[in-house]
């Protein structure tokens, strides 16, 4: 039986990336407590949340047919985890801290199927140019930052802040495509790419 792919995320960015890669999937929105545990490292936190989301999704999917994919992303400035700011004031505070500095983006991806589970964490380093108060204010006024970890969207207007990137662009967006394709390949899933009209 052909396995069906379930994306355990409501993130439109992850859905866009997975669709771009050539995968067909359904969407399931798992409810997971995202609170950090005492003494938990950022690496352990992001991977644990990704695993919990995948496990929650596989519970509600047909066991014999389902491959569940989940991911989680956090932004680290030094040892401080930057979550979703939710409003302009907190967005401005985060962006002021990121201005002219490098930060890390940790994205965990998990694939579970047939009682197997595979998970990994991709770390990328992003460096921002110096941001003026006017630039921060104008960006925050767009509202783009409110629901983004670290208060910016690299694929959106916030991309103009990025001076350099070491690592995976798609991971910073929320889903590392190279690693995701490799994990889905272990589950027997390959992308469906359109063929050229002259291809026999």
Residues assigned a catalytic role: 72
Cα–Cα dist 111/5, whole Å? 10
Residue 167: partners with Cβ closer than 8 Å, 6 or more residues away: 105, 122, 123, 124, 125, 126
Q: Which of 184, 193, 174, 194 has its CA nearest to residue 4?
A: 184
Q: How many CB atoms lie within 10 A of CB 192?
A: 10
Cβ atoms of 70 and 8 within 8 Å: the answer is yes
Is residue 199 exposed (0-12), middle (13-18) or buried (19+ Cβ within 10 Å)?
exposed
List, in sequence order, every beta strand (DSSP E) within the chain. 4-7, 26-27, 66-77, 80-82, 102-113, 116-128, 162-166
List, in sequence order, every beta strand (DSSP E) within 23-133. 26-27, 66-77, 80-82, 102-113, 116-128
Cβ atoms of 117 and 69 within 8 Å: the answer is no
């Amino acid at each position: 039986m052909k396995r069906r792919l379930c994306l355990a995320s409501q993130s439109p960015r992850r859905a866009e990336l997975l669709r771009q890669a050539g995968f067909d999937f359904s969407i399931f929105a798992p409810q997971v407590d995202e609170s950090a545990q005492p003494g938990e490292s950022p690496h352990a936190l992001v991977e644990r949340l990704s695993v919990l989301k995948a496990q929650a999704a596989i519970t509600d999917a047909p066991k014999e047919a389902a491959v569940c994919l989940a991911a989680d992303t956090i932004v680290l400035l030094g040892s401080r985890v930057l979550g979703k700011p939710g409003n302009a004031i907190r967005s401005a505070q985060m962006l002021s801290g990121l201005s002219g500095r490098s930060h890390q983006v940790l994205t965990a991806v998990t694939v579970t199927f047939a009682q197997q589970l595979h998970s990994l964490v991709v770390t990328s380093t992003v460096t921002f140019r110096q941001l003026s108060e006017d630039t921060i204010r104008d960006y925050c006024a767009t509202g783009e930052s409110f629901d983004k970890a670290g208060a910016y969207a690299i694929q959106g207007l916030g991309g103009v802040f990025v001076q350099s990137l070491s690592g995976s662009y798609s991971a910073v967006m929320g889903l590392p495509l190279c690693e995701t394709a490799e994990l889905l390949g272990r589950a027997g899933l390959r992308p469906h790419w359109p063929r050229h009209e002259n291809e026999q």
